[in-house]
Every structure is written in C-alpha cells, then in structure tokens.
Amino acid sequence: MTTHDITLVSGHGGMPAPEGVLTLKHLIDGAWVSSTSGETFERSSPATGQLVSQAAKGTAQDVEAAVRAARAAFDDGRWSETPGSARAKALSRMAELIDANCERLALYETMESGKPISQAEAEIQGAADIWRYAATLAWNIRGDSQNALGPDMLGMVLKEPIGVVSIITPWNFPFLIASQKLPFALAAGCTAVVKPSELTSATTVMMGELLIEAGIPPGVVNIVLGYGDPVGGLMTTHPDVDMVSFTGSTAVGKAIVAATSKTLKKVSLELGGKNPQVIFPDADLDQAADAIVFGVYFNAGECCNSGSRIIVHEDVADALNEKVVALSRKVPFGDPLNRTTKVGAIISTDHQSKIDNYVKGAAEDGAEVLLGGAPVSVEGLAGQFYQPTVVAGVTANMAIATEEVFGPVLSVLTFSTFDEAVALANGAAYGLSAGVWSENVHTCLAFARKAQAGTVWTNTWMDGFPELPFGGVKESGLGRELGPNGIDEFLEVKTVQMRIGKTRQTWV
C-alpha cells in the first residue's frame, strides 16, 4: 500500500518543543539527590529524536536509602497517624496543582512517550480528578463492630494502612497510572517508593515536585529513577517493603509474584490485555466502528485496555470492515505536538519491530491486511511511526489473536453463534476488559455475565471514572485500582476482641 491511503500529519506547524535538556534526580527523604554512583541515563523523543531528559541512574544504595526513608516516615506516624481530613486536604491541594501545571506536564509526557499532546493533556486532567476522588476516601476509612457476641464481648474490625508500598509504573501512561495508585496509598496512610519507567521519568519527577508543594511530609513519597535491575528488583524484594503495586507486562508481573513469595508481601498487579469487542448483527455499526477505531488507535494502541480484538458476526463482518477501514484512513497520525494528531510515535524501535512482526506473522498465516501493515516515515520527524492497521480473516490459533501486540493494529475474527462469540472472547489468557455491541439489552447482559473480564463495556468502549474499580482477571492481574476498592488495596484488616468487665473465668 502507499501512504496516500492514510492521513499523515507532518512535523511542521505543531506547538514548539521545549528547549534544553531536563535534569531529573531522585527524591529521597524530601531532598533531590543524584545517584550514589554518579551515573545518569538519557531519554530522547521517539517522535523527533531530540534529547529530552537526563536522569539519575538508580543503584541498590539509592533504593536502600529511599526504603529507609519511607519506613521511618511510616513508623514515626508523621503521615500514617495524620487525621484523614488532613490527608484529604493535601490530596485535594495536589489535584489543584496538577490542574495548574497541566500544560507543562502534558508537554513532557508527549516528548518522552510520543503520544499526541491533546491526549496527554486529557490524561493529566483525568489524573487530577483521581486525586480529588482519593481525597474523599481519606475522610471515610471505617471499620465495623460486632455487638452480638454475648453480653461480655465486643468485637471491632479496624482498617489500618499496610505500611511501605513500592509503586512501579510503565511508560505508556506514566502520570495517570501513578495517579491510579499513589493517591489511594496516601489516602490510606501509607508511605511509598515510586519507580517510573526509564523511558518516561519526567512527569513522575514533576509529580514529586508538586507533592512537596502540596505539603506531603519528607520521606512519605520517595522516587528512585532507573532500570528494573537493580531498582525495580530490590523494590519488590526488600524486607522493609510491605506491598508492591505494579503495572506492566504479564511476564514481569509473574516474576514479581515469584520474587515476593520469599517474604509473602502483598502484591497488586495490573497487567496485559487482549481485549475483545463482540459485535452482534443488530448492533449500530456506525457507532461500533467509531468506537473500534478509537479503541485500537488511542495512545497508538500502546494501552492495556486497547480494543485490539474484534469478534464480529459473519453476517455483518464485511460491512463493519468497510466502515472501520474508511474511518481508519481518516485518523490523523504523525507529529505528536500537532493538536490534530490522534496517533503519535511508537515508544521505541524495538517495540515497533515487535508490532510489525505480529502483522507479518498474521499475513503469513493467511490473514488479510486490509489497511496499513508497515512502519512509515513522517516528514520533518526522525522518530518511528506505524501505520493504522486492520487485519481481517484472523483465526483463534494465530498469535495476533491471543497475544498483546500493543500497537495500532486491529485483529478481526468472525462468529456465527452467541456461544462461539463467548468462547472466542474468553479464549485468550488475559481478562482485563471486554465489550459487547447489540441493541438487545438481554444479549448485552448475557454476554456481560459470561465474559471473563474485570470490566465489560456495552455499546461503548473505554469510558472511565474514578468511582469505578479497574483491574483484571486471569493473567491480567491481581487486585483493583480506583473506586472504593482502590483504597482497600492499601489497608489491612485487624480484628479487636474486647471482654467487658471481669467476666472471664479462670481456666484452671
């Protein structure tokens, strides 16, 4: 195919990139510090090749210092014993600061990740709302009582902060995903050590700056930059860490579970997805096609919730494919700093090769590439871009049907019966999200009950609210973020049994 089949946005006419290189340091016990080794690492824009940031390269000694600070801050009660109302005020102030700094945060998110600036801004704004919601939960940590144990006994159930939490976040939504974890941990009274991806460290460091301004005490939140080895590894195994909250690949999630088994610390995991949307023959195909295009190309498909797998009834498959391809051709992709762009750059050359190999493998296995299917150059930009891609004729035994591509690639399978659709939807090892399109509410409800997924959308895709829990089943993870469950992840339940008066008889 030629690039005339798709809509390119050149690297001319977008908003200006920041000048200079951002210097990033660790935040440990309230101070910004270089690595003990003195080493640094650099991050260049995946869209332009421009050097964006130079960051301190974390060592085991840096992790030790950060955990020590978090441990001391928790044990001395400077945050864990602060009234919930005071914690809520700090979190609300943080939300205000995020709003006030949205433009700068979004710009560096775009520069390091390659995502479109408009999507980065929406991500930051959504994160601010999550901090606001978490603040309301800090007011409302409550246990229970049991007053039916007899006249001489009273039972109480307390909820207490779990302690020191290691938070490890990925590169695709660095600020948003940190905001799905950290404010809930803080609302619960925990302290934290945070490690962002080495590919997108800037906005997490900026988050640390805002936390200081919001009045979070020193040592409560610590940030260590660097790589999984040694930083992430030690954060998951350190004996003074009580819990690990991780978002990333299923393979790394499994490794974390294995590593933490030696100390039996709590683990919360939000991992991969191969999320199906099932389109029944009575669906509104225009609405479905629009949501499908959004779901697969949002964040260049580098999204655990990407609607990358379409399972459409054979009677309407051709009609839906035509609509999806026609809309895909109109999706503007290219310069992330241009506000018209909807698909930006791919995070790295290695990842772009992985995406391309999945598409080529599907074609070799007999699938048909209806659109895209190759990297493409964008005028004026030196980075890596992949064309919006639609692959039809996919069967359940193909890798592209069950494995996470994590790119702007749509796989289309067909079905003939309801049971076949459910079997295909549940056929992957993942269980993060699923969707169903039908004008029949009974069909939607029946599918929602049978879908093996943490979230099921009906006649929509990827709506999200801080009030609703998010997480997966099967190999998509453990635990839940957001909603009331978001704070429960960071609380331990303690039973207190009280004998009233001197009613206990001696044993002998």
- Please list, in sequence order, all residues whose beta carbon lies within 8 angstroms of the beta carbon of residue 432, skipping any fewer than 6 positions away: 271, 272, 273, 275, 304, 305, 453, 454, 455, 471, 472, 476, 477
What is the average pLDDT value for the chain, to the nearest integer?
96
Predicted local confidence at residue 484, as pLDDT: 96
432 sits in the region (left: phi over 0; alpha: psi -120 to 50; else beta) called alpha
Pair 299, 174: CB distance under 8 Å: no
Q: Could you confirm whether 270 is annotated as catalytic?
A: yes
Q: Where in the chain is the domain with CATH 3.40.309.10?
A: 276-458
Longest dimension (CA), the chain: 92
Closest by CA to 227, choosing from 32, 48, 39, is 39
Pair 175, 200: CB distance under 8 Å: no
- Average the pLDDT over 299-308 and give the result: 97
> What's the CA gap between 257 and 236, in Å, rounded?
9
Residue 503 scores a pLDDT above 90: no
Q: Could you confirm whether 190 is annotated as catalytic?
A: no
The hierarchical CATH code for the domain 276-458 is 3.40.309.10
Predicted local confidence at residue 403, as pLDDT: 97
Residue 2 scores a pLDDT above 50: no
Query: What percentage of residues in the chain have a pLDDT greater than 70?
Result: 99
Of the listed 121, 198, 270, 404, which one is catalytic?
Answer: 270
Residue 9 scores a pLDDT above 60: yes
Higher pLDDT, 379 or 505: 379
Closest by CA to 103, choosing from 214, 203, 9, is 203
**Helices (DSSP H) in 170-298: which residue ranges?**
174-179, 182-188, 202-214, 233-237, 250-260, 285-297
What the block records as the tokens of 470 is 């998010």
Predicted local confidence at residue 246, as pLDDT: 98
> What's the CA gap between 112 and 29, in Å, rounded?
26
Helices (H) and strands (E) in the chain, counts: 16, 27
Other Cβ atoms less than 10 A from the Cβ of 356: the count is 19
Predicted local confidence at residue 364, as pLDDT: 97
Predicted local confidence at residue 16, as pLDDT: 87
Pair 457, 434: CB distance under 8 Å: yes
Bridging pattern class, strands 433-437 and 276-279? parallel
What the block records as the tokens of 412 is 């289309």
Q: How far is CA 162 from the centre of its chain?
A: 22
Query: What percentage of residues in the chain have a pLDDT greater than 90?
Result: 94
Is the omega angle on the peptide bond into residue 230 within 30 degrees of 0, that is, cis? yes
Residue 3 scores a pLDDT above 80: no
Other Cβ atoms less than 10 A from the Cβ of 322: the count is 13
Q: Where in the chain is the domain with CATH 3.40.605.10?
A: 10-271+476-493
Lowest mean pLDDT among 159-168, 185-194, 374-383, 448-457: 374-383
Residue 1 scores a pLDDT above 50: no
Other Cβ atoms less than 10 A from the Cβ of 319: the count is 13
Pair 267, 246: CB distance under 8 Å: yes
Residue 14 scores a pLDDT above 90: no
pLDDT tens sequence across 48-107? 999 999 999 999 999 999 999 999 999 999 999 999 999 999 999 999 999 999 999 999
Residue 4 scores a pLDDT above 70: no
Predicted local confidence at residue 250, as pLDDT: 96
pLDDT tens sequence across 131-184? 999 999 999 999 999 999 999 999 999 999 999 999 999 999 999 999 999 999
- Average the pLDDT over 417-427 and give the result: 98
End-to-end CA separation in angstroms for the chain? 90
- The string over 451-490, giving b where at least 16 C-beta atoms fall within 10 Å of a residue's C-beta and e elsewhere, is bbbbbbbbbebbeeebeebbbbebbbbbbbbbbeebbbbb
Domain spanning 10-271+476-493, CATH architecture? 3-Layer(aba) Sandwich (3.40)
Of the listed 102, 190, 303, 304, which one is catalytic?
Answer: 304
pLDDT tens sequence across 471-488? 999 999 999 999 999 999
CA atoms within 13 A on the CB side of 332: 13
- Average the pLDDT over 344-370 and give the result: 98
Measured over the CA atoms of residue 196, residue 198, residue 199 and residue 202, the dihedral's sign is positive
